[in-house]
Amino acid sequence: MKYADEFRDKAIALGLAKTIHAAADPERSYRFMEFCGGHTHAISRYGLEDILPSNVRMIHGPGCPVCVLPVGRIDMAIRLAERPDVILCVYGDLMRVPASQGASLLKAKAGGADIRMVYSTIDTIRIAEENPAREVVFFAIGFETTAPPTAVMVRLAEKKQLSNFSVFCNHVLTPPAMQNILESPDIGNIGHVEIDGFVGPGHVSTIIGTAPYEFFAEEFGKPVVIAGFEPLDMMQAILMLVRQVNEHRHEVENQYRRAVTRDGNPRAKEEISDIFELRDRFEWRGLGEVPYSGLKLKRAHRIHDAELRFDMRELWVADNRACECGAILRGAKKPVDCKLFGTVCTPEMPVGSCMVSSEGACAAHWTYRRFRDQEQRGAS
């Protein structure tokens, strides 16, 4: 196949659905977690759950970088942005994420903080060059996919000798989060999550490759199929998982071969390891503190580490008690299980982070499935 449309062919999708129905053993259930928010979005957008057998259940995972950022890290960014000498550069998704006490970066901006939305890391370098008398801080978030551009930006800042540039680093890593979910399936009494296999993240895997998932297949006996983001990619990946479960196999398979290799992108991995090192721990919304799951700048680049430069104090802030984002990010609940879904909490007035980003499970359900979800809630 050559063009995106071909990966959305309805007849082929229905044919794959028929094959999954035939392959799925009616005597058992299949619970597959799609780790990545992009996959959650595709499942909702294309209504894939509606054509799967009722005993094949997709569980949304924590793979939305905006969603997993805890409230305390947003509060830290707001405090930083409120300094008169600072320009804080952020990606647009972050602007409306609720912080504590009804705050957000958007409200801080309205209150006078100099917060600028950027589309690429290069924008931040330009802003730093144009404002030599100000401190320009990049609010870096994302998984292994967005860490390389941040690394390149740090290298560029050093080359240009930009002494007014730094990074508030919130990059997180996929494999430690998967391990956390498998090792502590009932953290915080928010529900037990049984998982029979993973649809592995496509974008992340273009960087890290498929090799890091072999650990999960071997140590936890869980099949992993790395998948692309089109509906046929997802359907094929689900079929591959069903077959692995039926055959008692637990292997790493690569459905997304047009973009992903076993070893990933060596240049991007080198950029990450040159600039970053592992944090001992990092807090994730929904997962709590996960050891070795976050990145920080290496000692050699510490002059560009905003947390050191501004002596930022780590903040731990509890989530809004009515918001079920934590349980949803662990796969223990679905958006419709939240009493605020679609009533108090909507994309216009989000209460939790999962309703903000388009990759968030609540936003995906609200955008594509809210009427279907309500029907199902009424019927149950």
- Which residue lies nearer to ligand SF4 by CB, 227 or 327? 327
Closest chain position to ligand SF4 (CB): 352
- How near is the Cβ of 251 to ligand SF4 at its closest, in Å? 34
Token pair 């391990």: residue: 179
Quick one: 76 or 354, whose CB is closer to ligand SF4?
354
Of the pair 141, 354, the CB lying nearest ligand SF4 is at: 354
DSSP letters along 125-165, please?
A: HHHHHH-TTSEEEEEEEESTTTHHHHHHHHHHHHHTT-TTE
Smallest separation, CB 356 to ligand SF4 (Å): 8
End-to-end CA, the chain: 41
How many angstroms separate the CA atoms of 140 and 132, rounded? 21
CA distance 380 to 378: 6
Binding site for ligand SF4 (CB under 6 A): 323-325, 328, 335, 338, 340-341, 345, 350-352, 354-355, 362
The distance from CA 287 to its chain's CA centroid, rounded to whole angstroms, is 12
- Is 109 in a helix, a strand, or coil? helix
Residue 161 vs 343, nearer CB to ligand SF4: 343
Report the residue number, 19 or 367, with the smaller CB distance to ligand SF4.
Answer: 367
Q: Which residues, 6 or more positions from 124, have their beta carbon under 8 angstroms from its beta carbon?
A: 89, 118, 136, 138, 153, 165
Measured from the CB atom, the residue of 33 and 147 that comes closer to ligand SF4 is 33
What is the rounded distance in angstroms from the CA atom of residue 361 to the CA atom of residue 343?
16
Shorter beta-carbon distance to ligand SF4: residue 58 or 252: 58
Q: How far apart are CA 207 and CA 265, in angstroms?
A: 5
Residue 328 CB, nearest approach to ligand SF4 (Å): 6
139: β partners? 168
Nearest approach in angstroms of CB 183 to ligand SF4 is 24
Q: How far apart are CB 69 and ligand SF4 at their closest, in Å?
A: 13
Shortest CB 11 distance to ligand SF4, Å: 35
Which residues have CB under 8 Å from 233's CB, separation 6+?
Answer: 7, 42, 202, 227, 255, 256
Between residues 224 and 328, which has the closer beta carbon with respect to ligand SF4? 328
Token pair 């936003």 is found at 363
Q: How far is the CB of 208 from ligand SF4 (least distance, A)?
A: 28
Helix orientation angle between 361-379 and 37-45, rounded to the nearest 10 degrees: 50
Task: Look at phi and psi of residue 39 and say left if phi exceeds 0, alpha if psi is from -120 to 50, else beta.
Answer: alpha
User: Shortest approach of ligand SF4 to residue 55 CB, angstroms?
Assistant: 26
